Structures are given as C-alpha cells and as structure tokens.
Structure 1
C-alpha cells in the first residue's frame, strides 16, 4: 500500500538585481535605482503571486531594519494601492525569521511588526522550517542569507528580477566561486520598466 507523504516546503529566494549582478550599492542603499520597478503595478501583481503562497519569511538584519522603517508608513498611507496595503499587512503579521548575530528579540519587539524571531543558526533554522508544516518559505532580497542558503543547497527556487541598470559595484547577489545548475520555470517581461522577471528551479 502506498504511503502518503506531504510535500516538503519550498524555499524561494526573491531578489532584485542590476544587469551587472548587484542587489544593492551597499549598506546605505535606499533602493532608489529600483523603485520605479518595485512600485509598478506589474511588479505588485507578480510579487503577489509569490507571497500569497508563503507562510514564513526570512530576512537579514539590514533588510529587517530597512523594511520596518518604511513599510508601516506605506501600509497605513491611504494613497497606497490596495496591493501595497495587502502586502504590508502580510509582512506585518506573517511568521518572520530575522537572521542576525547582533539583534536581540527585544529589538524586534520594538517595531510595529509582530510574529518575528531572531535566528542565529540559519541552516538549522531553515532545515527545521522545511521539514515542518506550512506553505512555502520566502527569503526577502537578503544577499547574505541567499548566498549562505545557496552554499548549503537549501534554496529550491530563485526568483530574480533583472532591472535595466548597472550599479558598477556594491553587494553581489550570487556568491563567488559557487557553481550550480538550474532550469528556467518561467519568465515575464515588464514593458513599463524594462525589467525581466526570471524564475529558476533546481534541476
């Protein structure tokens, strides 16, 4: 008799990258180079297709601090689109894992967002999440986290949005010296911003 086993949760890494492979210009990056795309209606639609299937978000310290300083205002702004407010409410309440060696739980509890916890051991945390119940796990544009999970072979899907700009330096998304093979699941163009969204899955 066949034994039914539940499908393991996928780890999806989502990132915006420049044509020359950078996801940030550095610690002080305000993402101004990407905002035209990020705030476009097409981007909102594409991103909604990802986060609605997710029940845990994983983020690094830098993005946690950036997100929690910006998103509460966007979520409460009556001029924000309905999709932006929906995403903001999801970010505020979804199960969140913040990967940091310096942040304490008390630091997370000071923000308006709830349901967040600190993780020191990224690999152990993600392996536990993958083996547990729930929908997919989304890594939110955190290069250091994505690089570590790639090296540990813990990412199942790479969702990359390539923007038509070069940064000339900064934080590269993919780790140096890392070799892997993927297959293209689907691709979408964004005519209004010239971006190309690529979804790759492990072969």
Structure 2
C-alpha cells in the first residue's frame, strides 16, 4: 500500500547534492552548487508538480522570509515564466503555517505562526479534513522535514538531485531515522544531469 494511512497527504520538497546535502559547506545560505540547475526545465516542472494538489504550505521562519520576500514580486510579474508565476501565486494565496520561536505574529497574509512540536502540529493539520482540504506541502524546510521523517509522518517526497558533490553542508538523511520503504512514483532527467524524483511512502 502506498500513500498515507488516512487524512491529508503530507508532502515535502527539497533539493540535494549527490552527497545528500541540502546546502553547501558555507552554511545555510550556500546554494552555489545548486544555482545552475534550479531554473532548468526539469526543476521548473518539479516546482509545478509540488503545489498543484496542496492547499497548505508549511515553512520555517527563515524560508518564509526568503520565499515570500522573493516570490511575492514574481506573482505580479507578467513577464515571468508561467510555471514560476503559478507557484508564486499559489504561495502568496494559500494557507501558510510558519514555525518560529521568535515571531509573535505572521507579517504575511493568510499565514499563522506556530512554535509547538513539529510532528504534533503537522499531525493536527493532517487530521483536519474539513472541506476536503488538499495536501500539506513542507516547502523546502529541512528543519521541519527532518523531524517528520523521524516521526514517519511524510507520505511523499519530491526530491531534486543535482550532479554536484559539495563536500560539506547539512544532510537530510541522518543516522537514527526509522527504516522505511518508498516507491518511485515519477522521475525526470534534465539536460545537465539533474534528476527530479517523486517518492511515495509504502505502508
């Protein structure tokens, strides 16, 4: 059986190097190795894939500040790539749950700040099926994806794998995670060797 065991689908997207890093050795803002690939046709198609069935975005504070600062202008830019604009408009308009211990209130529309346990908050969102709510997308926030992997609460992983070895940086799959099985649901290869993959949790 693939997918989830009831409630909303909890999904997550992230880009990784060949050595499993989600940023480079320079720290959380070091994406130099990923930059040549993130605007490729395959990456843009993957970006469209992640949000089309999602009605809630879950982000960490740092990503929320960066994403909403950037993508809000793209949403209004008629000259932007249609896929970029579609994602941007979704991000601006959808319900957003932002994990933060420093923000008292969300400075963005249709957003709320939470500071509780990541698994508990996301499990509550998953169980809330009022009005047939769609998927929950953990939007490129490794600090949230990691505890959800540890709690086995993720139903789908959207991964972009870039043909670079960074040699340092944060790892997504750390020792100590529970053993789980995943089914490759979709894959696409870009001209520069980047891979877009969709994995569904097999339960």
Q: What is the TM-score normalised by the length of structure 1? A: 0.86
| Alignment partner, residue 118 of structure 1 | 113
- Is 1:34 the counterpart of 2:34? The answer is yes
* Paired residues of 1:18 and 1:163 also in contact (CA < 8 A): yes
Task: Please report the RMSD computed on the Cα atoms of aligned residues, expressed in angstroms.
Answer: 1.9
| Alignment partner, residue 59 of structure 2 | 59
| Alignment partner, residue 15 of structure 2 | 16
| Alignment partner, residue 160 of structure 2 | 161
Matches within 5 A, 1:94-173: 94-105=94-105, 108-109=106-107, 113-121=108-116, 122-133=118-129, 134-173=133-172
* Paired residues of 1:184 and 1:198 also in contact (CA < 8 A): no
d(CA) in 1 for partners of 2:40 and 2:78?
17
| Alignment partner, residue 79 of structure 1 | 79
* Paired residues of 1:12 and 1:156 also in contact (CA < 8 A): yes
Q: Structure 1 residues 180 and 201 mapped into 2: Cα distance closer, same or farther (>3 Å)?
A: farther
* Paired residues of 2:161 and 2:195 also in contact (CA < 8 A): yes
Match of 1:86, SS state, is helix
Q: What is the TM-score normalised by the length of structure 2? A: 0.86
| Alignment partner, residue 44 of structure 2 | 44
d(CA) in 2 for partners of 1:34 and 1:80?
21
Give unpaired runs (5+ residues) of structure 1.
1-5
Q: Deviations over 1:114-158 (max 9, x none)?
A: 211111112221111111121111111111101111112211112
Q: CA deviation at 1:27?
A: 2.6
- Is 1:178 the counterpart of 2:180? The answer is no
d(CA) in 1 for partners of 2:158 and 2:11?
7
Matched residue count: 192
Instruction: Report which stretch shifted further, 18-27 or 75-84.
Output: 75-84
d(CA) in 2 for partners of 1:185 and 1:193?
21
Instruction: Report which stretch shifted further, 187-196 or 86-95.
Output: 187-196
d(CA) in 1 for partners of 2:79 and 2:34?
20
* Paired residues of 2:41 and 2:190 also in contact (CA < 8 A): no
* Paired residues of 1:18 and 1:162 also in contact (CA < 8 A): yes
d(CA) in 2 for partners of 1:137 and 1:52?
11
